[in-house]
Amino acid sequence: MAAGDQHLELGCSWHEPKHLAHRIWQSPPWLGGNRNGPDPRVSFLICGTQKAGTTALADYLRGHPQLFVPEQKELHHFDNESLHWGTGIRAQRRNARRYHQAFDKAPTGRLWGEATPIYMYWDAAPERIWHYNPAMRILVLLRNPIERAYSHWAMEVARGADPLGFEDALNQEAQRCRSALPLQHRVFSYVDRGFYSGQLRRLWRFFGNEAVLVLRQDHLRQAPQRCLDGICQHLGVEPFGSVEPLEQHVGRYDKAMDPNIRERLRGIFANEIQQLEAMLGWDCSDWLEG
């Protein structure tokens, strides 16, 4: 099997990573996240999607000797609306100093990265990331949007953030999310977060699709070694040795999703899933089964 076929089998969006990783290493240090440079920067982000294995991926990458991912997950820097996001040098430096406090313990020479899943969904985040580091490498994990919505709702119920049943939450999502306008709603966006194609296009607009590696959550779970080796190639670092599989934040539901609600969500996401298949060269027919 050819290398490109292996990448498609893994569910990856892949574009000449070796060449581009080399190009990043040759960039000025303030663009590449080189810890030894005069202006070190975060150089890779796990930016989505929520409830798709981002915690496990961050844990895997913490074990790589050339990477540094803070123990604190979800720094929420680029979706922080309390910061001044002007394009002036002074504002950029102030924001960077605040952000870099999370990397104070990074050993010299490691690439910095972090995991905040909402960056992919937050409209303003990609442009802010691009102003901070236009050479950023983006890692995206996608999950069946039907299952993702149910897992998201179950999480919010478990932590007391949503008193509604799943069907009522879906029925009222549009109305409830309007309360956050002009921003996105961080809690009740169960269906809206599952429209991945627009979120990916926004990332591609700023970084090009060659800098955005897209993976399927189920492939990370089933074949972590192969997925992680692909991520290392994308980041331009040495591959992992033997990887011990992790399972983080696995959803535990009191009951399965109602079949009628599942069928409703199939109808909502059918065209979206077809768009993703065309964009990424994936076969996602299993997402509409069950």
Q: What is the pLDDT of residues 159-188, one digit of tens each?
A: 999 999 999 999 999 999 999 999 999 999
Nearest alpha-carbon partner for 245 in 267, 261, 223, 266? 223
Mind listing the pLDDT tens digit for each residue in 67-76? 999 998 899 9
Give the pLDDT confidence score for residue 93 in this predicted structure: 86
283-255-194-243 Cα dihedral, nearest 10 degrees: -60
Q: What is the residue type of 110?
A: R
Of these ranges, 10-14, 74-78, 85-89, the one predicted with the greatest mean pLDDT is 74-78
| Length of the chain in terms of residues written | 290
For the record, the structure tokens of 108 come out as 């010299």
Give the pLDDT confidence score for residue 22 in this predicted structure: 30
Percentage with pLDDT > 90 across the chain: 74
For the record, the structure tokens of 102 come out as 């999370």
Distances (CA, A) of 43 to 166, 173, 266, 268, 273: 38, 35, 37, 36, 30
Q: Domains of the chain (ranges plus CATH)?
A: 3-288 (3.40.50.300)
In the block, tokens 């909402």 appear at 118
Q: Name the pairing type of β-strands 42-46 and 111-115.
A: parallel
157-161-166-172 Cα dihedral, nearest 10 degrees: 180
With 50 as the cut, is the pLDDT of residue 247 above it? Answer: yes
pTM for the predicted model, two decimal places: 0.85
Between helices 145-158 and 259-280, what is the axis angle to 10°? Answer: 130
Q: Where are the beta strands (DSSP E) in 123-220?
A: 137-142, 212-216
Distances (CA, A) of 268 to 146, 152, 186, 196, 289: 9, 17, 20, 13, 14
| Angle made by CA atoms 210, 211, 212, in degrees to the nearest 5 | 95
Q: Are 213 and 137 in contact (CB under 8 A)?
A: yes
Average pLDDT over residues 229-255: 81
For the record, the structure tokens of 265 come out as 């969500």
Of 70-74, 196-200, 207-211, 249-253, the poorest mean pLDDT is in 249-253
Of 23-27, 48-52, 118-122, 238-242, the poorest mean pLDDT is in 23-27
The confidence band for 28, taking pLDDT boundaries of 50, 70 and 90, is very low
